[in-house]
Structure 1
């Protein structure tokens, strides 16, 4: 991949959000600012449509909204740390780590690879804790790049 999957400008720490749509929108705004999404409203609609098919909450305080979209220019991962938590439909309660996976409409394989690699790491409590404990966006991006992005 020529462009990094995640960079510090795609990480939001201490997100205050009222609900899942709010946190997703804040992460989409980061993707737009970075030039990775061309239409915030269009991509938000794609994410919302995907979320309507099946909740994307995972045990351990994880939200994994994701979508393939014509508005995504490069496979990207944005992350929000939400200390107050938001409901993503997980059986054990609100998500405090929200990972938004954005994949180009034509990027089927990339999207699934990102999702699978991330899901494999997220089952490990120490990985989730390292992200929660990371002091800043640069550290979060470095941990994910090291632990999740295929070499």
Structure 2
């Protein structure tokens, strides 16, 4: 089974002008890794999902996600955004962005990932470990260990 998140899907210091830009940069990482076949098609699916409901969570979290025919394997892109980017959370901009990409035929798999991630995101220690991690490999290993091993 392919890991949900790998070092090449982590961006430590993302600079983004808005949530669409942040999402595009993470999606491009998924595309480069062969996990997304059509960047614009996938981004359209994410935007459609985002239009239904804001994906900002309390605690500085952005959680864009979509099921898409353009996704080959369940994947998680992650960015630390020191300047923050607005994902519509009531308490302000997101400094951590998690992009969940799930294949269209994946059933409820992305919901399992989303639920596992959401349970951990409410724990300040989980967020702080990601913020404090020294490099992308450490972030990927930690998050894969926490969320990937459903």
TM over 0.5: yes
Contact 1:31-1:37 within 8 A present in 2 as well? yes
- Residue 30 of structure 1 corresponds to 29
- Residue 73 of structure 2 corresponds to 74
Contact 1:68-1:108 within 8 A present in 2 as well? no
**Could you tell me how far 1:149 is from its partner in structure 2?**
1.8
Structure 1 residue runs of 5 or longer lacking an equivalent are none
- Residue 101 of structure 2 corresponds to 102
- Residue 12 of structure 1 corresponds to 11
Q: How does 1:1-151 map to 2 (within 5 A)?
A: 2-151=1-150
**Could you tell me how far 1:150 is from its partner in structure 2?**
2.6
Instruction: Name the TM-score, length of structure 1 as normaliser.
Output: 0.98
Instruction: Name the TM-score, length of structure 2 as normaliser.
Output: 0.98
Question: In structure 2, the residue corresponding to 1:140 is in which secondary structure?
Answer: helix
How many pairs are equivalent?
Answer: 150
CA distance in 2, matches of 1:150, 1:137: 19
**Could you tell me how far 1:93 is from its partner in structure 2?**
0.3
Question: In structure 2, the residue corresponding to 1:15 is in which secondary structure?
Answer: coil
What stretches of structure 1 move > 2 A for 4+ residues in a row?
none
CA distance in 2, matches of 1:68, 1:149: 17
Contact 1:63-1:99 within 8 A present in 2 as well? yes
Structure 2 residue runs of 5 or longer lacking an equivalent are none
CA distance in 2, matches of 1:80, 1:108: 26
> What is the root-mean-square deviation of aligned Cα atoms in Å?
0.7
Q: Which deviates more, 112-121 or 141-150?
A: 141-150
